[in-house]
Structure 1
Amino acid sequence: MDTVISLLVLSTLAQHVVSVVPTVTSFRAILEKVSGDSRIFSGEDARLRCSIPDIHNSRWDYLWFRGSEQLTQTGEYFVLWNAGVRDGGKFYCKGVRDTAVGNIYTLQSLPVEINVDGGWAILQVPPHPALVGDTLKVTCRLRRNFPIHEVILYKDGVEVMRQRGPNPQFYLTKLTLKDKGMYSCRASWDANGRTHSVMSADTSVQVLELVTQPVLEIVANNDQTPAGWMTLICHLQYNARGPAPPIHYYFYKDDKRLGTATSENHDLVRQSPGQYSCKAKVPQLDITRWSEPKGFGEVAGPQTRRPLVVHRKVPWPLSPQVSSPSFSMLPPAESTMARPSPHQSTVASSFIQPTEVSTQPSDPPLKPAQPTPSTVPPPVLSINQTATPTRDNSAFLSQESGDMSGESGDMLEESGDMSGNSSETVTH
């Protein structure tokens, strides 16, 4: 009898152990584009690769998704062969491994978007957002190697640049936040005594600040903060490309600095009524950003506002600087600030970066971060620093002499007519 009872206990324990084995790992699959651009012409190819950051080098199989649809391919690589307009979308992958207790899955990768364009022109832009102060290179790419003699760049339907000759590339220098928007291009060429032109679909251009304006959070009177104390947290986004120089944090009460600079975005201080603020500074980039003041307790007297931005004086070479090539045989691109476009006849925006000068006193050298109580968790050391100890925290084809028409998707060519419209571009 004792033997039977022991066997039953062991069987129950085994079932209990199996039931609590997790089916999802804590690491995320990584999806990257191996070949092809984020926007390709119909009939072209694109290749993606899924990798699993498993330090144990376990054997993984792969699941592929387009949106919510699971695809049939299961290998490490996913290939779009001879892509059609409907084959584009946002692609994901994740790993799966067969174990003795069932399938184990990784977290799904971040998406990679591929747009398939059925038109004749594509405006190619870098896949990642540009940063303030950068130089952005964009290219007006055509489906065929037409002998173009003029290329025009538009922003939000307004012509901003025009250049004559076969060069299809434009350079937007000293970017500011005003430069983000929807861009398109038009290319023209002569053939058989007629002038032809094609225009791309709109493509999104994103421009980010290196350091966003901080937002101060005051955390007091909770289980993770000692009685009579409160935590000041300086939230911001730091978008510098690696290796990024260090960022220093300063905390203030009523315009008086509390302690010294710290490499952490939080500080533990005694509760006291007043106006609190924080400052983020990147000395190597000569960038300083202030938060808006935030009151705690009963505050008397007028509230003051801090200067918000101090831009760097000298461009920081974190991202590769793109210099315009020399075209000795070609006329340079001309600005078209006053030339009307076929979309609108308004003046195009210029690409000028404003500069302000901080009036704050210089800061002492950085000192090690102040120790914080064990009850206050460390900040999240990521690009988006939002740590908090209280919560988880088409194209159309026209000709001047003759008719040309078409629609998005399949392309038709009949008796010299050319057609095709490009699909809209949606960007992250």
Structure 2
Amino acid sequence: METKGLHCMFFAETSFKAAVEIVEGDSRIFSGETVRLRCRIPDNWSASTYLWFLGSEQLGQSGQHLILNLDLAYLFYWCHVGLLSENDTVLFCTFHLARGWAILKVSPSPGLVGNTLTLTCRVRGNTPLHEVILYKDGVEVMRQNGLNPHFSVTNLTQEHEGMYSCRASWDVRRRTHSVISSATPVQVLEVLTQPILEIFTSEELTKGQKMKLICHLQYNAPAPAPPVEYYFYRNRIRLGTATSVNYDLVSWKPGQYSCKARVPKLGLLRWSEPKSFEQETGTL
């Protein structure tokens, strides 16, 4: 038997909201199962055309959706979106083939720190199972009755990252059959990473000039994500009010600079490490 894993990505400088997404089917499926894809673009974009390709060959299907019945060893699909007011966008979706009778589905992927991850052991044909075992990096971590093939990992931390697989067993005519899935990577992200402060100045500062403080971070909350508030400090004294953008222009003075990111609705708050700035030399 064959299984496939679906990996979709996009290359669109105009917006991070453009993507190829699955609207029917699963991210990891058995050969012969059906998947429906959609070229998703932001509501404020206007598309004139959607063209689908397999490698260099244009497919007969056009429009925003593509229906696939997968039976090939390696498939590289992509969608070309012709836009009326922006640069054209190219979105990619790649299917990889793996051998095996079982699939381990991970949802959501990637996981977020503090949330719950569900790992489901699927066997072709929905065979009634009597036992399922979950492995992390080849070591057994959970075992349960096959009536419940769903494993829950709660209160995620980054220590839960690794390669996961499952073993499923069932009985046929008084004989026990057992299969194991291929390893599936599990990634766990911080919802809000620790900020890193960057200070931009001209080489020779003069009185009245400003320097730019930039607060870099990753914000991984699922949509609709509440906004991040940014605060900037010199010697732990706040510079101005909260801002919705990750930078600020401030008068240059010596001191210890830092930034703080806060998401009030999620109860998240992270500080950057302080960074020194010397007025006399204009150096960090």
User: TM-score with structure 2 length normalisation?
Assistant: 0.81
Of residues 177, 200, 215 in structure 2, which corresponds to 1:234? 215
- Which residue number corresponds to residue 79 of structure 2? 93
Matched to 1:78, the amino acid is L
Output aligned runs, 1:17-96, within 5 Å: 30-50=19-39, 59-66=48-55, 69-76=56-63, 77-81=65-69, 83-89=70-76, 91-96=77-82
Q: Is the 8 A contact 1:249 1:281 kept in 2?
A: yes
- The 1-side partners of 2:89 and 2:18 are apart by 6
- The 2-side partners of 1:80 and 1:58 are apart by 22
Q: Is the 8 A contact 2:109 2:186 kept in 1?
A: no
Matched to 1:238, the amino acid is Y
- Which residue number corresponds to residue 89 of structure 2? 107
Deviation, 1:216, is 0.3
Structure 2 CA distance for partners of 1:153 and 1:125, relative to 1, 3 Å: same
- The 2-side partners of 1:56 and 1:140 are apart by 39
Secondary structure at 2:39's aligned position in 1? strand
Output aligned runs, 1:159-308, within 5 Å: 159-221=140-202, 228-297=209-278
Q: Is the 8 A contact 2:192 2:220 kept in 1?
A: yes
Q: Is the 8 A contact 2:258 2:272 kept in 1?
A: yes
Q: Is the 8 A contact 1:25 1:106 kept in 2?
A: no
Deviation, 1:87, is 3.7
- The 1-side partners of 2:57 and 2:30 are apart by 24
Structure 2 CA distance for partners of 1:163 and 1:258, relative to 1, 3 Å: same
- The 2-side partners of 1:26 and 1:115 are apart by 28
Matched to 1:95, the amino acid is V
- The 2-side partners of 1:55 and 1:130 are apart by 29
Matched to 2:183, the amino acid is D
- The 1-side partners of 2:232 and 2:37 are apart by 45
Deviation, 1:229, is 1.7
- The 1-side partners of 2:246 and 2:51 are apart by 38
Deviation, 1:96, is 4.3
Structure 2 CA distance for partners of 1:294 and 1:55, relative to 1, 3 Å: closer
Secondary structure at 1:240's aligned position in 2? coil
Q: For this pair of structures, how many residues does the alignment match? A: 265
Deviation, 1:245, is 2.5
Please say if 1:129 is aligned against 2:115.
no
Q: Is the 8 A contact 1:248 1:281 kept in 2?
A: yes
- The 2-side partners of 1:56 and 1:252 are apart by 38
Deviation, 1:259, is 3.0
For the pair shown, the structure with the greater C-alpha radius of gyration is 1
- The 1-side partners of 2:19 and 2:239 are apart by 42
Secondary structure at 1:47's aligned position in 2? strand
Output aligned runs, 1:344-363, within 5 Å: none
- Which residue number corresponds to residue 421 of structure 1? none
Q: Which moved more, 1:242-251 or 1:145-154?
A: 242-251
Q: Is the 8 A contact 1:39 1:114 kept in 2?
A: no
Deviation, 1:234, is 0.8
- The 2-side partners of 1:25 and 1:208 are apart by 23
- Which residue number corresponds to residue 9 of structure 2? none
Secondary structure at 2:130's aligned position in 1? strand
Runs of 4+ in 1 over 4 A off after TM superposition: 24-30, 51-59
Q: Is the 8 A contact 2:54 2:75 kept in 1?
A: no
Q: Is the 8 A contact 1:61 1:74 kept in 2?
A: no
Secondary structure at 2:59's aligned position in 1? coil
Identity %: 52
Q: Which has the higher contact order (CA 8 A, sep 6+)?
A: 1
User: TM-score with structure 1 length normalisation?
Assistant: 0.55
Deviation, 1:178, is 1.2
Deviation, 1:270, is 1.3
Matched to 2:89, the amino acid is L
- The 2-side partners of 1:25 and 1:253 are apart by 34
Q: Which runs of 5+ in 2 are unaligned?
A: 1-11
- Cα deviations across residues 234-287 of structure 1 (Å, max 9, x unaligned)? 111111123322322222222333233333322221111222111112223222
- The 2-side partners of 1:181 and 1:40 are apart by 21
Structure 2 CA distance for partners of 1:243 and 1:60, relative to 1, 3 Å: closer
- The 1-side partners of 2:45 and 2:243 are apart by 36
Deviation, 1:127, is 5.6
- The 2-side partners of 1:74 and 1:226 are apart by 63
